[in-house]
Amino acid sequence: MICCGIDWAEHHHDVALVDDTGQLLAKRRISDDAAGYRILLEMLPEYGDTENEPIPVAIETSRGLLVAVLRAGKRKVLAINPLAAARYRDRHGVSRKKSDPGDALVLANILRTDMAMHRPLPADTDLARAIAVLARAQQDATWSRQQMANQLRSLLREYYPAALDAFASWQNGLCRPEARELLKLAPTPTRAARLTRTQLRSALTRAGRSRGIEAEVERLRDVFRGDYAHQPPLIEDAFGRQMLSLLGQLKAICRAADDLAGAVEDTFPQHPDAEVILSFPGLGVQLGARVLAEIGDDRHRFTDARGLKAYAGSAPVTRASGKKHYVGRRMVKNDRLNHAGYLWAFASITASQGAGAHYRRRRDHGDWHAQAQRHLFNRMIGQLYHCLKTGELFDERLAFSSPLQAAA
């Protein structure tokens, strides 16, 4: 059997081919462009690569154009964790030397000796991979939006506490268009105190508000004209300019997050698994798309529900040595899926009577809030695995049946 290892870099990639005895057959450096990819694809058939029996490839990444070219057809592409590759490097030499051609050889030998211990990239459909791109981008935009809102809030605390009091009762606070419009109109507390009712009313209308405007105008006017400490005028104006700069960045991030959310809402319902995923309590379009993005639609990716639970980080990990035995939280996991799982569990507590009862039972058992949520997520994702395998929709009576019903 011939195995291929590729050590990738930004501008070039090193390729190594070994046989089943570990003998180096060929090595080459290719460029990171179409010409380099063509050289690689012409090089592999010289050593037995065919359409029905392609040479497997090991590489330390799961993304990029090179991976997309290699995944065409039936070829197995295995993404090796860089930390695992570093451990394998010590098997070939104790001098701690490192080179790109040497790393390519190490990756090829990983396939030769331990291919069964590593998982190839899942054979997801193009639609599932497109949903993954959009869902992850929307998740990143949401995190960036919150990070930028936190920076803006920290700045306002230094010179403009009236704005924080004015927006405290609004959901999403500084991310709302009303808040951004008012801060743009009055970047300093001195200018905010001089705002008239007409100006406040116009700002709320421009932001898209249509109900309760008069009451909100009176409330905002009272807050802006309240008794607050002030920075010196020059420093206050400087803070105002800095705030407008952050406000422009926040506005751009909010617009990007909204655009990506719309793209997810248009694409996710087209997937055949969307109906099954949306049948689960606590999963909407955005959160359901994040779950699908991480687990994919390759039915052979996980051999059983336990593998999916370990991948999501909901299943505990056991460390046992001699008389020591420890069962705790799993730290090596898919962080995106784990984050979506906490949101899913939190929403399902109120959306499902059975999920709420399960959560309260775990709390009565002595679990903390996070532990009970993780336990609920562990159960829900196992049910999702079963439903996706069988094509069944979520059934509350079967998912959270009482012990007596289960015995019957």
Dihedral over Cα of 119, 124, 128, 129: its sign: positive
255 lies in the same domain as 331 = no
Q: What is the CATH number of the domain that holds 97?
A: 3.30.420.40
Host domain of residue 20: 3-117
Q: What is residue 57's three-state secondary structure?
A: strand
256 lies in the same domain as 281 = no
**What residues pair up with 328 in beta bridges, in sequence order?**
317
Output the pLDDT for position 405. 55
Output the pLDDT for position 407. 47
Residue 149 lies in a domain: yes
Output the pLDDT for position 320. 87
Taking a C-beta distance cutoff of 8 angstroms, is the pair 241, 171 a contact?
A: no
Q: How far is CA 14 from CA 48, 87, 115, 118, 377, in A?
A: 19, 19, 20, 21, 42
Residue in 346, 335, 342, 355 with CA at minimum distance from that of residue 396: 355
Q: What is residue 399's three-state secondary structure?
A: helix
Residue in 239, 112, 269, 251 with CA at minimum distance from that of residue 182: 251
* One-letter identity of residue 373: Q
Report how many domains make up the chain: 3
97 lies in the same domain as 140 = no
139 lies in the same domain as 262 = yes
Taking a C-beta distance cutoff of 8 angstroms, is the pair 49, 74 a contact?
A: no
76 lies in the same domain as 101 = yes
**Domain end among 84, 117, 150:** 117
Residue whose structure tokens are 């392609």: 54
290 lies in the same domain as 382 = yes
Residue whose structure tokens are 């590593």: 118
H/E segment holding residue 4: strand 3-8
Output the pLDDT for position 87. 86
Whole-number Å distance between alpha carbons of 35 and 163: 57
Residue 256 lies in a domain: yes
Whole-number Å distance between alpha carbons of 339 and 293: 13
Token pair recorded at residue 37: 């990819």
CA angle 380, 287, 130 (to 5 degrees): 115
Residue 187 lies in a domain: yes
231 lies in the same domain as 289 = no
Phi and psi dihedrals of 26, rounded to 5?
Answer: -160, 150
Q: How far is CA 353 from CA 47, 361, 395, 399, in A?
A: 60, 12, 12, 11
Taking a C-beta distance cutoff of 8 angstroms, is the pair 79, 61 a contact?
A: yes
> Strand 77-79 relative to strand 317-321: parallel, antiparallel, unpaired?
unpaired
Residue 125 lies in a domain: no
Cα atoms in the Cβ-side hemisphere of radius 13 Å centred on 103: 22
Taking a C-beta distance cutoff of 8 angstroms, is the pair 338, 313 a contact?
A: yes
Mean pLDDT by 10 residues, the chain (408 residues): 92 93 92 93 91 92 91 90 86 78 92 90 93 96 95 95 92 91 95 94 92 93 93 95 96 95 96 96 95 94 92 89 84 91 95 93 93 94 95 91 55
**What residues pair up with 87 in beta bridges, in sequence order?**
none
Token pair recorded at residue 20: 């089943």
Phi and psi dihedrals of 98, rounded to 5?
Answer: -145, 135
CB atoms within 10 A of CB 335: 10
Phi and psi dihedrals of 71, rounded to 5?
Answer: -80, -10
134 lies in the same domain as 261 = yes
Residue 60 lies in a domain: yes
**Domain end among 90, 117, 144:** 117
* One-letter identity of residue 134: L
Residue whose structure tokens are 């909100």: 216
Residue 303 lies in a domain: yes
Q: 290-323 burial, b for 16+ CB within 10 Å, e for fewer?
A: bbbbbbbbeeebbeebeebbbbbbbbbeeeeeee
63 lies in the same domain as 150 = no
155 lies in the same domain as 175 = yes
> Strand 324-328 relative to strand 317-321: parallel, antiparallel, unpaired?
antiparallel
Distance from the Cα of residue 343 to its chain's centroid: 12
**Domain end among 117, 144, 177:** 117
**CB neighbours of 210 closer than 8 A, spacing ≥ 6?**
none
Dihedral over Cα of 240, 242, 245, 249: its sign: negative
326 lies in the same domain as 230 = no
Residue 123 lies in a domain: no
Residue in 134, 147, 135 with CA at minimum distance from that of residue 250: 147
107 lies in the same domain as 164 = no
Residue 365 lies in a domain: yes
Judged on CB neighbours under 10 Å (0-12, 13-18, 19+), 245 is exposed
